[in-house]
């Protein structure tokens, strides 16, 4: 059997808020390899999908990644000309809508109509009657006003679409590593029960999925873990081989770094059990994985093992969580910290006097008691650090009622003249809250499928 050439997979985004220009040097590098290559975009965090569902409720034509143009348009022509397929979960709550929009982008660029495949079947709200879904969910989720309920699909349908000639594959909720494993399956024709190789491909996708995290961005810590030219950190590329081994590198001519430290940190990211990383396609075991240097900014990964995929799929269920009120005000100069604490006490007393004394209210002194504090205020009460003369107070409260959230914000605003001396720079925000929980659902609840968009 003729051994197939390596497949290069580049990452163009690691979340919805990622840099719009990151994919350009990645595609330039993929083209320079002269071999088979794929570009993936991972833009769908748990909360992102719930927000997309809300957008689609308001406008049935929306619900896909709002920065789709910004991510894809700069590289679409190069990818089409070089035969580099694009795979992305930027379909969010409306993959068909995203596909239609991508055709418009292609037309605007003067390109021929694209062969765009759409992956569907992840939406539990669409797959099951409401009453049946409610009865089958964990007790903590029953009776909630659900915004979204989506299962994490695997790589098989992505691979099928690419084998059929898709130039772009648009997905909704799939497991993040599946965005790379799908192209790997399509290229190497691995069996869906070749567990060791599936695990290798999955971990390659896992190392790609967060963008610059593996190339030094999130890794950087000045004086402790210095990263060269971190402001221009390049996005990662995986060089995948048919035996399951792979090399992690980055786009040519970019900043950042790829070494054993950066790869180790990303390899362990979100991994609860290194010997049993559950995905829709395989259970991956990285407990015996080995990382070795393969040249500058090149780390070879071997020793990943796999076991049969689990009988269930992870699902993320988002439900309405009421309202979040936030207010901030600054105090500076002598006795600033004491004035900020008094301001928080005033807001608490005002709420108590209006019948809301039981409302959980969080107060933070940003830079003093915020990151390490808890909602109960224990750190706030006990913290004895030297008093600062530059303090910003943040007050936050959650409520099921918009009117109570409004009241909290107004009491912070009133501190301009009703609170301690010298307060300024008030900002208040009231936002709807989305709460999410994860659970496992039987695979048979979902029927993944794909088709070419009209």
pLDDT digits (tens, 9 = 90+) for 151-183: 999 999 999 999 999 999 999 999 999 999 999
Residue found under tokens 């109509």:
113
Give the separation between CA 301 and CA 296, rounded to whole angstroms.
Answer: 15
H/E element, 199: helix 195-208
- Mean pLDDT check: name the lowest of 63-67, 208-212, 385-389: 385-389
Residue found under tokens 């009241």:
407
Question: Mean pLDDT, to the nearest integer, of 72-86?
Answer: 98
Give the pLDDT band of residue 373 (cuts 50, 70, 90). low
Give the pLDDT band of residue 1 (cuts 50, 70, 90). very low
Domains of the chain, start order = 7-310 (no CATH), 320-437 (3.30.70.1150)
At residue 366, does pLDDT exceed 70?
Answer: yes
Dump the DSSP string for 318-346. Answer: EEEEEEEEEEEEEEESTTHHHHHHHHHHH
Q: How many CB atoms lie within 10 A of CB 126?
A: 10
Give the pLDDT band of residue 252 (cuts 50, 70, 90). very high
pTM (2 d.p.): 0.93
Residue of 258, 238, 241, 132 whose CA lies nearest to 197: 241
Q: Are 219 and 260 in contact (CB under 8 A)?
A: no
Dump the DSSP string for 128-154. Answer: S-HHHHHHHS-GGGTT--EEEEEE-B-
The end-to-end CA distance of the chain, in Å, is 38
Residue 225 DSSP symbol: B
> Which tokens is 123 given?
């939406």
Give the separation between CA 242 and CA 172, rounded to whole angstroms.
Answer: 28
Residue found under tokens 């790869």:
263
Give the separation between CA 316 and CA 44, rounded to whole angstroms.
Answer: 12
pLDDT of residue 2: 60
Give the pLDDT band of residue 438 (cuts 50, 70, 90). confident
Kindly report each contact of residues 74-77 with a partner whose C-beta sits within 8 Å and lies 24 or more positions away, as own/partner.
74/20, 74/21, 74/23, 74/24, 75/12, 75/23, 75/24, 75/26, 75/27, 75/39, 76/105, 76/106, 76/109, 76/111, 77/109, 77/111
Give every strand in the sheet of 305-307, ordered side by side. Answer: 277-278, 283-285, 305-307
């Amino acid at each position: 059997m003729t051994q197939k050439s390596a497949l290069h997979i580049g990452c163009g985004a690691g979340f919805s808020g990622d840099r719009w220009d990151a994919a350009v040097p990645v595609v330039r590098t993929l083209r320079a390899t002269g071999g088979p290559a794929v570009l993936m975009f991972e833009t769908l965090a748990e909360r992102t999908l719930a927000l997309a569902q809300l957008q689609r409720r308001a406008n049935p034509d929306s619900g896909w990644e709002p920065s789709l143009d910004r991510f894809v348009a700069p590289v679409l022509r190069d990818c089409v000309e070089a035969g580099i397929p694009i795979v992305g979960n930027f379909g969010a709550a409306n993959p068909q809508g995203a596909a239609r929009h991508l055709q418009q982008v292609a037309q605007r660029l003067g390109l021929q109509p694209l062969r765009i495949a759409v992956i569907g079947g992840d939406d539990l709200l669409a797959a099951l009657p409401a009453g049946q879904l409610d009865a089958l969910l964990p007790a903590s989720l029953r009776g909630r006003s659900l915004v979204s309920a989506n299962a994490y699909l695997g790589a098989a349908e992505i691979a099928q679409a690419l084998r059929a000639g898709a130039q772009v594959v648009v997905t909704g909720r799939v497991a993040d590593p599946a965005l790379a494993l799908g192209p790997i399956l399509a290229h190497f024709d691995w069996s869906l029960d070749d567990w060791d190789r599936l695990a290798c491909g999955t971990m390659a996708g896992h190392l790609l999925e967060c963008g610059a995290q593996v190339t030094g961005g999130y890794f950087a810590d000045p004086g402790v873990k210095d990263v060269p030219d971190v402001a221009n950190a390049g996005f990662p590329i995986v060089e995948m081989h048919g035996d399951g081994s792979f090399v992690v590198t980055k786009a040519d001519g970019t900043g950042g770094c790829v070494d054993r430290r950066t790869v180790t940190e990303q390899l362990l990211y979100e991994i609860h059990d290194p010997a049993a990383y559950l995905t829709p396609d395989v259970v991956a075991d990285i407990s015996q994985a080995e990382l070795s240097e393969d040249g500058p900014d090149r780390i070879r990964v071997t020793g990943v093992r796999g076991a049969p995929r689990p009988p269930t799929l992870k699902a993320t269920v988002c439900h309405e969580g009421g309202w979040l009120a936030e207010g901030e005000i600054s105090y500076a100069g002598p006795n600033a910290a004491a004035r900020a604490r008094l301001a928080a006490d005033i807001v608490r007393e005002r709420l108590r006097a209006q019948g809301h004394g039981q409302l959980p209210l969080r107060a933070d002194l940003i830079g003093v008691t915020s990151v390490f504090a808890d909602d109960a205020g224990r750190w706030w009460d006990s913290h004895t650090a030297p008093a600062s003369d530059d303090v910003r107070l943040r007050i936050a409260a959650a409520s099921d009622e918009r009117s109570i959230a409004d009241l909290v914000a107004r009491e912070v605003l009133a501190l301009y003249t009703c609170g301690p001396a010298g307060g300024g720079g008030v900002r208040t925000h009231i936002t709807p809250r989305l709460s999410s929980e994860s659970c496992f659902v039987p695979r048979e609840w979902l029927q993944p499928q794909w088709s070419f968009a009209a």
